[in-house]
Structure 1
Amino acid sequence: MELSGKSVLVTGGAGLIGTHLTESLAADNDVLVADNCSKGNREWVPESARFADADLTDPDDVAEVVTSDLDVVFHLGALSDVNRGDHRRVFEHNNAMLYNILERMDEVGLSKIAFASSSAVYGEAPRPTPEDFAPLEPVSTYGASKLAGEGLLSTYAHSHDFTTWMFRFSNVVGPHQRNNVISDFIEKLLDDPSRLEILGDGRQEKSYLHVEDCVSGMEHVVENTDEPTNIYNLGTRTTISVTRIAELVSDVVGCDPEFEYTGGDRGWTGDVPKMRLSIEKASAIGWSPERESADAVRTAAEQLYDELA
Structure 2
Amino acid sequence: MICIVTGGAGFIGSHLVDLLVENHHQVIVIDSMVAGRMANIEKNLAEITFVQADLLEDGWQKHFAGADRVYHIAADPDVRGSARKSFEVYENNVTATIRVLEAMKEHGVKEIVFTSTSTVYGEASVIPTPETYSPMIPISIYGASKLACEAMISSYAATYGWKAWVYRFANIVGARSTHGIIYDFVQKLRANPKELEILGDGRQSKSYLAVENCVKAMIFAPEVSNDTFNFFNIGSEDWVNVKRIAELIVEEMGLENVKFNFTGGDRGWVGDVPLMRLGVDKMKSLGWDPEITSEESVRRAIRATIAE
Provide the rounded CA distance (Å) in 2 between the counterparts of 1:251 and 1:51. Answer: 39
Deviations 1:126-184 (A, max 9, x none): 20000011111010000000000000011011111110000000000000001210011
**TM-score between the two structures when normalised by the length of structure 1:** 0.95
- The 5 Å alignment of 1:37-52 reads 37-45=33-41, 46-47=44-45, 48-52=47-51
Could you tell me how far 1:118 is from its partner in structure 2?
Answer: 0.4
Unaligned runs of 5+ in 1: 1-5
Give the structure 1 partner of residue 97 of structure 2: 98
Could you tell me how far 1:65 is from its partner in structure 2?
Answer: 2.8
Equivalent position SS for 1:26: helix
AA matched with 1:112: E
Provide the rounded CA distance (Å) in 2 between the counterparts of 1:146 and 1:20. Answer: 21
Equivalent position SS for 1:128: coil
Provide the rounded CA distance (Å) in 1 between the counterparts of 2:219 and 2:203. Answer: 33
Give the structure 1 partner of residue 69 of structure 2: 72
Could you tell me how far 1:93 is from its partner in structure 2?
Answer: 2.1
Give the structure 1 partner of residue 10 of structure 2: 15
Provide the rounded CA distance (Å) in 2 between the counterparts of 1:50 and 1:291. Answer: 33
Give the structure 1 partner of residue 117 of structure 2: 118
RMSD between aligned residues: 1.0
Give the structure 2 partner of residue 36 of structure 1: 32
Tell me if the contact between 2:113 and 2:165 (Cα under 8 Å) persists in the aligned partners: yes
Percent identical residues: 42
Could you tell me how far 1:298 is from its partner in structure 2?
Answer: 0.1
Provide the rounded CA distance (Å) in 1 between the counterparts of 2:160 and 2:28. Answer: 24
Residue 21 of structure 2, aligned match among 12, 19, 26:
26
Tell me if the contact between 1:32 and 1:52 (Cα under 8 Å) persists in the aligned partners: yes
Off by >6 Å, runs of 4+ in structure 1: none
Could you tell me how far 1:83 is from its partner in structure 2?
Answer: 2.0
Report how many aligned residue pairs link the two structures. Answer: 300
Deviations 1:200-255 (A, max 9, x none): 11000000010001001111101111110000000011000000000001111111
Tell me if the contact between 1:62 and 1:104 (Cα under 8 Å) persists in the aligned partners: no
Give the structure 2 partner of residue 306 of structure 1: 307
Tell me if the contact between 2:79 and 2:143 (Cα under 8 Å) persists in the aligned partners: no
Give the structure 1 partner of residue 228 of structure 2: 228
Provide the rounded CA distance (Å) in 1 between the counterparts of 2:234 and 2:128. Answer: 12
Give the structure 2 partner of residue 180 of structure 1: 180
Equivalent position SS for 2:80: coil
Provide the rounded CA distance (Å) in 2 between the counterparts of 1:137 and 1:92. Answer: 20
Equivalent position SS for 2:99: helix
Unaligned runs of 5+ in 2: none
Provide the rounded CA distance (Å) in 2 between the counterparts of 1:290 and 1:180. Answer: 22
Tell me if the contact between 1:62 and 1:101 (Cα under 8 Å) persists in the aligned partners: no
